[in-house]
Amino acid sequence: MILQGQAGGLPLVKQISGNPNVPQGFLAELLASELNPQYYTLLKNGLVYFANLSAGNPTAFTGGAGGTPLVGLYNPASSGKDIIVLQLRIGVRTTGTAAGTTDFNWYMGPSALPTGTVTAPRNAYSGSQSGAVGLPFINAAMTGSTAINAVGPIASIGANPVTTPIATVFDAVENTNGTIAAAQGNLIAVGCSATLTAASVDCAILWAELPA
């Protein structure tokens, strides 16, 4: 196979036959490709899924057995896949009707298969609710789960020293870049450290499923 290069040029269409030209820099150096967005290849191949909580009122979760996280994600022991978290998104519409402070944290560890309510995830490319091995628990008790450990903070919200909640809305995006993952038989979760009163919180996890 003859590998050809084209300095400074961009392909106009997908090159799927013949001897495609490899885009090079103006000095004919090889480039790290940024022609496609970072996760496009994973999405295009149907390997990325997401689970989403919309306008939920959090229950305190600090990794305890059978707890209720904002979003829990279990990788079954015989799935044959690794679950690799790509991105986390959290939005706080309101902290509710009472003053309060809370933290959002990552938790993970080996766990028995929870028997709580599972919400089918969606494929991030097709939108289909099929094909994923990951089992999401969306603001639902993970009945029968094993206690898991805190592995890192995400964000914290404080409150004014009065009887009313903070008025400022909150939005966070964490690009985990593969640093949070669930091997087969492992559980990962995003927990809110306090039970709030009439709060409204959004939370979404975007992950890839790759051969173990």
Could you tell me which CATH class the domain 40-211 is placed in? mainly beta
- Euclidean distance between CA atoms 208 and 70, whole angstroms: 19
Domain boundaries, the chain: 1-35, 40-211
| pLDDT for position 211 | 95
- Residue 54 parent element (H or E): strand 48-56
pLDDT beyond 80 at 27? no
- 8 Å CB contact between 110 and 146: yes
| pLDDT for position 5 | 67
What tokens were used for 96? 């509710």
Mean pLDDT of the chain: 86
- 8 Å CB contact between 30 and 24: yes
Q: What percent of the chain has pLDDT over 90?
A: 59
| pLDDT for position 8 | 61
